[in-house]
Amino acid sequence: MTTTMITPPPGTSILIVEDSPTQALKLAHVLETNGHRVTTARNGREALTMLTTQMPTLVITDINMPEMDGYELCRRIKDDRRLGDLPVILLTALSDPKDILRGLECGADNFIVKPYEEEFLLSRIQYVLANLELRHASQGKPVTEIIFAGRKYQLHTGRIHSIDLLLSTYETAVQKNLELSKAKEKLEEQAEQLREKNAEMAADLEMARELQAAIVPRHYPMFPSHVSPERSALQFCHRYTTTTELGGDFFDIRPLSDTQAGVLVCDVMGHGVRAALVASILRGLTEELTPIAEEPGQFFTEINRSLCAILKQTPTQMFATAFYAVVDLQKGELRVASAGHPSALHVRRSDNCVEPLMAEGDEGPALGIFDTATYQTFRRPTCARDMVMLFTDGLYEVEHTDGSIFDKEGLRTIVAGLSEQPTPQLFDEMLVRIKQTSASGDFDDDMCVVAVDVVRLLPETT
């Protein structure tokens, strides 16, 4: 059989065999930028056709390709007397020892592991080209049979060829180890930065929590203002817990005169920083609008209008529910309004009655949703020994072990059964009983409850 030898063109010519146009262009760009001439084929069959008319200095081939894969292409090249000395580099994931054995079996000269660094790619090419002379001198390749993972491999490799591939594999392992070390260092650096940021955020949240706790009323006003706490015509009590560092529930007790007290409870949608910020805005608005706080409906209407103007500038919808009661000792009257909030309970100890101050459906919309909303004031009589209990829904929305939810009626029943007790003891026993019904043994949400006891009406005759 006569064969025609094709003389390689001057300089280094590299044939890229790659079915991905993007990967082929990327590899060609790297090689051409570094002075190599490049041609490309889309698969092994097309590459063999091209090799009948041209002789590149080197072939770089992907393994997974349609029609003919890289292993088969390499085997065909090495079995061809005319092409047998043409060096072939396989692009591989090298994720399995069988990849190395299949490369040895088909006669591959080297591996380049994907994804590859440009510098490493070029050094591999330079190494293969530099060892062409030695490779030509290594003739009479013995056949070595080995069995790995239940399969027999016939390795047609000479000593230098085997050493080349082992060095290539070792160098790849070293390269990957260096990359992993760098990645580990970078991850450790990023983890440290993350720890610092988390510590910073935790400190900020703790400070915000302390500030929020600091503005929870700790001392109650006296009525009239000049009397001692035990002589006050109104007595107050509260319990407040949060499920997160920052809660959206809050309450306020505000003296409007020597004979009038305003009591507010509010529940901002959500938890955390966002809810706490809206709660702070609402606190500021209630302070600013104190001059009109004697009329709950007007008070809520103005708070809502101002809150809507602020919140409409933010992309996320936020809102708050609230209940507000004014206790007027001179008129013997309760004036109340609700913004989408559960009604306060009116505990009338004189006739052993516990009932909501407002009927279902009488409440206005939550604050911060409709800027044109108006709120109505409702009036109820009050007398000595009455207690008004305001609360957020976290007090009664507690999941039982059977999956059912403790509700407002269950709360009213507990309060009615404890109504003869002084309010502080009533609160403590009420919370114990609610927790006993909870599947978690605690409240599932932020919880706030505040009470005002009417000791006597003013002015009092002596």
CA atoms of 351 and 423, how far apart (whole Å): 17
Would you list the domain boundaries of the chain? 13-187, 215-454
* Closest-CA residue to 300 (of 334, 276, 265): 265
* Closest-CA residue to 335 (of 369, 370, 379): 379
pTM recorded for the entire structure: 0.60
Question: What number is the average pLDDT over the span 13-23?
Answer: 93
CA atoms of 18 and 70, how far apart (whole Å): 9
Which conformational region is residue 397 in: left (phi greater than 0), alpha (psi within -120 to 50 degrees), or beta?
Answer: beta
Sequential DSSP letters for 195-214? HHHHHHHHHHHHHHHHHHHH
Please give the DSSP secondary-structure letter assigned to residue 339: E
Please give the DSSP secondary-structure letter assigned to residue 266: E
Backbone φ and ψ for 357, nearest 5 degrees, come out as -75, -25
CA atoms of 411 and 400, how far apart (whole Å): 14
* Contact in structure between 157 and 140 (CB atoms under 8 Å): no
Question: What number is the average pLDDT over the span 139-167?
Answer: 52
pLDDT of 157 above 80: no
Which CATH class, in words, describes the domain spanning 13-187?
Answer: alpha beta
Q: pLDDT tens, 119-136?
A: 888 888 887 887 765 555
397, two tokens: 């929305």
* Contact in structure between 359 and 333 (CB atoms under 8 Å): no
417, two tokens: 């059964």
Question: What number is the average pLDDT over the span 340-368?
Answer: 95
Which CATH class, in words, describes the domain spanning 215-454?
Answer: alpha beta
Q: How many other CB atoms sit within 10 Å of the CB of residue 127?
A: 16
pLDDT of 315 above 90: no
Q: Model confidence at 12, in pLDDT bands (50, 70, 90)?
A: confident
Question: What number is the average pLDDT over the span 352-370?
Answer: 95
Q: pLDDT tens, 203-256?
A: 766 666 666 566 667 789 999 999 999 999 999 999 988 766 666 788 999 999
* Contact in structure between 365 and 376 (CB atoms under 8 Å): no
pLDDT, position 8: 37
pLDDT, position 368: 96
Name the pairing type of β-strands 333-339 and 378-381. Answer: antiparallel
pLDDT, position 197: 84
Residue 270, CB-side half-sphere exposure with 13 Å CA sphere: 12
* Closest-CA residue to 454 (of 364, 386, 379): 386
Q: Average pLDDT over the chain, rounded to whole?
A: 84
pLDDT, position 324: 98
Q: How many other CB atoms sit within 10 Å of the CB of residue 125?
A: 23
